[in-house]
C-alpha cells in the first residue's frame, strides 16, 4: 500500500471516493419498474448496502465518515457524500409529491430533514449494533416511514416480506 499511497489520508480519500462511485453506479444501474413507492424504497435501500457482500463496504463508508470528523483533508469529500445523500432523499420525496402520493399536510422540506435523520440514525445503529439491526429490519423501518407519509394504504409485497398498512 505504501507504494501507492504516501499518506493514510490519501488511502482514505481513495477508499471514500471508490465507495461513493460504487453507490452511484449501483443507483444509476437500477431498474425502477415498480410503483413510485416501490421505486423510492428501492432507491433508499441502495444507500445501506443491504446485501451481505456489500455490507462491509457500507460499514467502511460510515467509518470513514466518522474518521472525517478528525481529519480535515477528508471533510470536503465527506460533506459531498452527505450532500448527495440529502439530495437523494429530497429527490425521493419530490417524486412522491409529484405523483400525488405525499400526504397533504407533509412539508417536503421538513420531511426531507426527518427522513435524512432516520437514514443517518439507521446507518449509525447498523455500525454500532449490527446484530440488532439486520437488513430486513432496516427495510421494514424505511417502508413503515414511507407508508406513514404517503396516501396509499394497501398491502405491499416488496422483496421477501409483506407489510400491511393500517388505515
Inter-CA distances, 115 with 76, 87, 101, 124, 148, Å: 23, 12, 16, 14, 11
Residue-wise pLDDT tens digits, 27-43: 888 888 888 988 999 88
In this prediction, residue 162 carries a pLDDT of 43
* DSSP letter, residue 160: T
CA torsion through residues 135, 139, 36, 22, sign: negative
Distance (Å, whole) CA 128 – CA 6: 31
Determine the average pLDDT of the residues in 73-95.
90
Domain 9-164 adopts which CATH fold?
A: Tetracycline Repressor; domain 2 (1.10.357)
Residue-wise pLDDT tens digits, 100-142: 999 999 999 999 999 999 998 988 887 778 788 888 888 899 9
Closest CA to 94 of 73, 84, 83, 108: 108
Distance (Å, whole) CA 112 – CA 94: 9
Domain ranges of the chain: 9-164
Coil/strand/helix, residue 87: helix
In this prediction, residue 61 carries a pLDDT of 67
Amino acid at each position: 500500500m505504501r507504494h501507492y499511497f504516501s499518506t493514510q489520508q490519501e488511502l482514505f480519500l481513495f477508499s471514500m471516493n471508490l465507495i461513493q462511485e460504487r453507490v452511484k453506479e449501483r443507483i444509476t444501474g437500477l431498474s425502477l419498474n415498480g410503483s413510485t413507492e416501490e421505486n423510492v424504497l428501492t432507491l433508499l435501500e441502495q444507500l445501506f448496502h443491504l446485501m451481505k457482500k456489500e455490507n462491509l463496504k457500507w460499514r467502511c463508508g460510515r467509518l470513514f465518515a466518522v474518521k472525517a470528523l478528525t481529519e480535515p483533508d477528508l471533510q470536503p469529500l465527506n460533506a459531498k457524500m452527505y450532500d448527495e445523500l440529502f439530495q437523494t432523499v429530497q429527490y425521493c420525496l419530490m417524486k412522491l409529491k409529484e405523483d400525488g402520493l405525499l400526504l397533504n399536510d407533509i412539508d417536503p422540506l421538513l420531511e426531507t430533514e426527518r427522513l435524512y435523520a432516520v437514514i443517518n440514525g439507521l446507518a449509525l445503529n447498523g455500525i454500532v449494533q449490527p446484530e440488532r439491526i439486520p437488513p430486513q429490519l432496516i427495510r421494514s423501518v424505511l417502508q413503515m416511514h414511507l407508508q406513514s407519509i404517503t396516501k396509499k394504504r394497501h398491502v405491499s409485497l416488496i422483496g421477501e416480506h409483506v407489510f400491511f398498512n393500517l388505515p
